[in-house]
Amino acid sequence: MKKTVTWVLIANGAQARVLENTGPGKGLTLVEGLNWSIEPLQAQELVSDRQGSNRTPGGYGRGGFEPRTDPVEYREAEFIKGVAAELDRKQQNGAFDRLVIAAAPIALGDLRQAITAGVKKTVVAELNKDLTNLPSDQLDKHFDGILAA
């Protein structure tokens, strides 16, 4: 009988990691190569100090452009899309059977939009929590009831 492999994705908008559980009492181990991070930046570090300008012919309409999206939110959403794409590749290769997602609220929303239908079918639980700063050995207690099922 094939063992059921459960992956646990721990994520926020700047870091993510995948841990694996292969059965009751087996604990969580980090999946090699599935640990990502980007340097968290503030909006002022991503955009220039001055706004672009809008000049119309005739010189009457002048004004500054405001960015339509927050550059920090955009960068974090792109990071999450990359994580979701890698999960999709791994799911298509049969690397895991079940997926548990624990993510900060905004990252969880971005993940829900970014994961494919195939990955969605494997999701057995979601935790609306940022656990990225917890050491791996302290995560078990957050998933006790979920991983035992």
- What DSSP string describes 26-78? ---EEEEEEEEE-----HHHHS-SS--EEE-TTS--EEEPPPSS-HHHHHHHH
Domain-embedded: residue 52? no
The predicted-structure confidence for 83-137, as pLDDT tens digits, reads as follows 999 999 999 999 999 999 999 999 999 999 999 999 999 999 999 999 999 988 8
Enclosing domain of residue 89:
6-39+81-148
Amino acid at residue number 105: P
What pLDDT score was predicted for residue 63?
Answer: 53
Domain-embedded: residue 46? no
83 and 9 Cβ atoms separated by less than 8 Å: yes
Domain-embedded: residue 47? no
What pLDDT score was predicted for residue 112?
Answer: 96
CA distances (Å), 9 to each of 19, 36, 114, in order?
Answer: 7, 11, 14
Opening angle at CA 128, ends 125 and 133, nearest 5: 110
What pLDDT score was predicted for residue 64?
Answer: 54
Domain-embedded: residue 32? yes
The predicted-structure confidence for 30-89, as pLDDT tens digits, reads as follows 999 999 998 866 555 545 555 555 555 555 555 555 556 678 788 899 999 999 999 999
Residue 11's CATH number: 3.30.420.60
Q: How many domains does the chain have?
A: 1
CB-based contacts of 148, cutoff 8 Å, min separation 6: 24
What pLDDT score was predicted for residue 8?
Answer: 96
Task: Supply 31's token pair.
Answer: 């999946």
